[in-house]
Amino acid sequence: MNIPRQIIDYLEREVTGRIGLIGCRSQDIVSPFPCCEYDIACLDPGVKNAGVIRLCDSTIELLNFASKGSDILSLYSMIPICYKNMPLFPQISDKTNRKIENIFFGQSNKMIVNSLFNLETASRHLNSRIDLCSLYLKAASYNLIEGILLRMGLKAMPSHELDQIRNLRCMEDLINVSIERALECLGLERASKTSITRSCRALKEILKKGDDGYIIFSKIDYMLEHGLHTDCYYYLGKIGLSKIETHYSNMPELYPKLINFTFDLNLDVSLNRKLLTTLTACCKKILKIRI
């Protein structure tokens, strides 16, 4: 991976400690967009590097991993920068490979269990708040898809996640059916410039206090400019739900119209009831297998 000279110069001048490139630009499984940021992991304790920096036509996001503990899933594909640091796993052994497989499998189970929790919440709202039912169904679908990618040994990259699914090669009928049902729940057939524009306006309200809005909307603009409407629709929902789960857990109850516009919710009771049943069955079956 070639890192622009201006980024290397900035990092050598402004950043101390061991650093490495992570995120989609360190992955072999996706092709980054030109607008994708360079995620830089700062590994040493006591070093306070964090934030988003724009340099000419490139963006850096500095992420302090020392304060978060070891995030093996994010750091496993790390590329050391300018030999200032060492790879997280300098020697790959059978024992290390088994450890990584177990971590991916454990995180996969966690995401699928989260999907079941969201499905349970959706079920509680089915007959009273169909909008909330639809929202939690979408959350469950994103959880399920991420859990499937992890089970296949892939770290989900939000702006490239739908493409990761397209390129997935799996012989398990259960996995393929589960992906189809999750994508059906997300309603990707409704992706259009009109629906995306409406969702974008609402998402800006949700993100107005965050510091990563520039990164998010630069990707949305790129996808729209290149006709990637389905990918953009998928990414909008994924990012919006992650922000609500992290920062605004009571927003769906307080601002139903904003949530409806952001996530383009499906308010068909009979369809949501069917999706609840099929997605729950898929999650329970996947938890019993190891690919």
pLDDT digits (tens, 9 = 90+) for 116-149: 999 999 999 999 999 999 999 999 999 999 999 9
Percent of the chain with pLDDT over 70: 88
> Can you tell me the distance from the alpha carbon of 273 to that of 258, in angstroms, rounded to the nearest whole number?
23
Of 4-8, 138-142, 249-253, least confident by mean pLDDT is 249-253
* Per-residue model confidence (pLDDT) at position 4: 85
CA 59 to chain centroid, in Å, comes to 19
Please give the pLDDT value at position 84.
52
Extract the tokens encoding 225.
């400019």
User: Which residue(s) pair with 42 in the sheet?
Assistant: 19, 64
Nearest-angstrom CA–CA distance, 218 and 181: 30
> Do the strands 79-80 and 58-64 form a parallel or antiparallel pair, or are they unpaired?
unpaired
286: left (phi over 0), alpha (psi -120 to 50) or beta: alpha
Give the per-residue pLDDT at 92. 42
pLDDT at 212 > cutoff 80: no
Give the length of the chain: 291
Q: How far apart are CA 184 and CA 22, in angstroms?
A: 31
Rounded mean pLDDT of 20-45? 84
Strongest mean pLDDT among 3-7, 51-55, 244-248, 263-267: 263-267
The string over 55-79, giving b where at least 16 C-beta atoms fall within 10 Å of a residue's C-beta and e elsewhere, is eeebbbbbbbbbeeeeeeebbbbbe
Which range is least confidently modeled, 46-50, 127-131, 202-206, 263-267? Answer: 46-50
**Dihedral over alpha carbons 276, 281, 282, 288 (to 10 degrees):** 150
- pLDDT of the residue at 77: 80
Per-residue confidence (pLDDT) for residue 144, from 0 to 100: 98
Of 80, 81, 34, nearest to 59 by C-alpha is 34
The pTM assigned to this predicted structure is 0.89
Sequence-distant (6+) residues with CB within 8 A of 37 are 23, 52, 59, 60, 61, 215
Interval 80-107 mean pLDDT: 65
Higher pLDDT, 143 or 30: 143
pLDDT in the model for residue 86: 46
Q: Does residue 67 surpass a pLDDT of 60?
A: no
Alpha-helix residue ranges (DSSP H) falling in 126-250: 130-151, 161-166, 173-186, 193-207, 213-225, 229-247
For position 100, what pLDDT does the model report?
Answer: 81
Model confidence at 266, in pLDDT bands (50, 70, 90)? very high
Distance CA(6)–CA(173), nearest Å, equals 47
Side-chain half-sphere of 271: how many Cα atoms within 13 Å?
Answer: 14
Closest CA to 14 of 45, 38, 49: 49
Q: Which amino acid is at 54?
A: R
Average pLDDT, the chain: 86
Range list of H helices, 42-93: 72-75
Which stretch of 56-60, 102-106, 235-239 has the lowest confidence by average pLDDT? 56-60
